[in-house]
Amino acid sequence: MIPFLDLRRQYAALAEPLEAAVLETLRGGSYVLGEAVESFEADFAARCGTRHAIAVNSGSSALHLALLAAGVGPGDEVLTVPTTFVATVAAVLYVGAVPVLVDVDPETLTMDPARFEAAITPRTKAVLPVHFHGRLADMAEIGRIAEAHGLIVIEDAAQAHGATRGALSAGGFGALGCFSFYPGKNLGAAGEGGAITTSDPALADRIRALRDWGQVERSVHLLRGYNFRMDTIQGAILGVKLRHLAAWTEGRRWVARQYDAGLSERVTCPAQASGDDHVYHVYAITHPARDGLRAALADAGVATNIHYPRPVHLQPAYADLADGPGSFPVAEAYAARTLSLPIYPELRPEEIAQVISAVNGFVDAQAGQTGRFDRTACPEEIAI
């Protein structure tokens, strides 16, 4: 079986430096925040082109604290999308604000700026676009509209570590950027982790206090905060892994190019990226017979996944945020047809070829064709 994701391959390539970093932490006797977290924060901020990065214990906590620090609260509306992981929407509810969903663009699957603009009301306080599957949302247009209406821009960059457009990187477009280091993300801890990026020193101070029970100095609780601190061991691991993020991203893009070139025109591949604005956290194709395709791939030894089978407003816990099916036609049509293929830098050329031939075999047979797609081994090696 070709695994959908195999983190053991990444670990095997970095076992020595990772184990050294973990041992050093264990021997150091300090296990929460600390030097390894501080140096990771500095490196990650530099990578995102922001003045600050504040490490926390998950991407969900990052979203929660970004909204709190921005002063979003009861009575405020936050505009975001249904095509995302539920955490984006849940964080808005955590701070007592109202998530207002707007449909996504059918090509990019990120927030449709025109729908965003049309949904602004006097109660709108912030906009929370999601860089879905690792593709940057239209931040120029979203930023322009937000500025014209005095709205705070907070990026959900949990899937987009290192994506860039022009001089800016994910996490550096808005006032605040939120990242997850869940193990399967493009940059993953050996457990939970997250970070908030910002270039505003006042926001950074507030978030640093909020993640540590609102303390501005020991035992002075200026704010009502939380325990959202990052473990030292995760900071140490992330510090080692961050050095490989750029190469891993190139590896993901290489796999994506093989899929783009090799997959049948009977499946819809992700819209072409305009440059470095897509880091392929997920490579999802769409096909009308998605469930049959998924079953055929499983039979052919290819594990797949669905991100996500339902848009947030069709999840039982969040159904009150919209009027049921039909509320967001683009998001719903996409969810019904999407299928995520394995994509990680350690995926082997022969595995990529096997995925392509399994997909093409099914869709060609389905279309009543006799000819089978024949693919020779991929020419280049993936540099990790």
Q: CA–CA separation, 326 vs 29, rounded Å?
A: 55
The least CB distance from residue 126 to ligand PLP, in Å, is 15
Taking the least distance from each CB to ligand PLP, the nearer of 77 and 156 is: 156
Q: Which two tokens stand for residue 107?
A: 């090509």
Q: Which is nearest to 129 in space by CA: 155, 101, 103? A: 155
**Which amino acid, residue 156?**
D
Residue 198's SS3 state is strand
Asked, as a colleague might, if the bond just before 308 is cis with ω within 30 of 0, I would say yes
Q: Which is nearest to 79 in space by CA: 108, 100, 95? A: 100
Q: Which residues lie below 8 Å from residue 137, measured CB to CB, with a gap of 6+?
A: 108, 110, 111, 129, 130, 131, 155
Taking the least distance from each CB to ligand PLP, the nearer of 173 and 362 is: 173
The least CB distance from residue 180 to ligand PLP, in Å, is 3
Which residues contact ligand PLP (rule: CB under 6 A)? 58-60, 84-85, 87-88, 130, 156, 158-159, 180, 182, 192, 194
Taking the least distance from each CB to ligand PLP, the nearer of 87 and 359 is: 87
CB 167: neighbour CB atoms within 10 A? Answer: 7
The least CB distance from residue 355 to ligand PLP, in Å, is 22
The least CB distance from residue 217 to ligand PLP, in Å, is 28
Rg of the chain over CA atoms, in angstroms?
21
The least CB distance from residue 99 to ligand PLP, in Å, is 13
Taking the least distance from each CB to ligand PLP, the nearer of 328 and 362 is: 328
The least CB distance from residue 295 to ligand PLP, in Å, is 26
Count of residues making up the chain: 384
Taking the least distance from each CB to ligand PLP, the nearer of 108 and 159 is: 159
The least CB distance from residue 130 to ligand PLP, in Å, is 5
Q: Which residues lie below 8 Å from residue 218, measured CB to CB, with a gap of 6+?
A: none
Taking the least distance from each CB to ligand PLP, the nearer of 238 and 293 is: 238
Taking the least distance from each CB to ligand PLP, the nearer of 131 and 263 is: 131
CA angle centred on 203, ends 198 and 208, rounded to 5°: 95
Strand partners, 305: 340
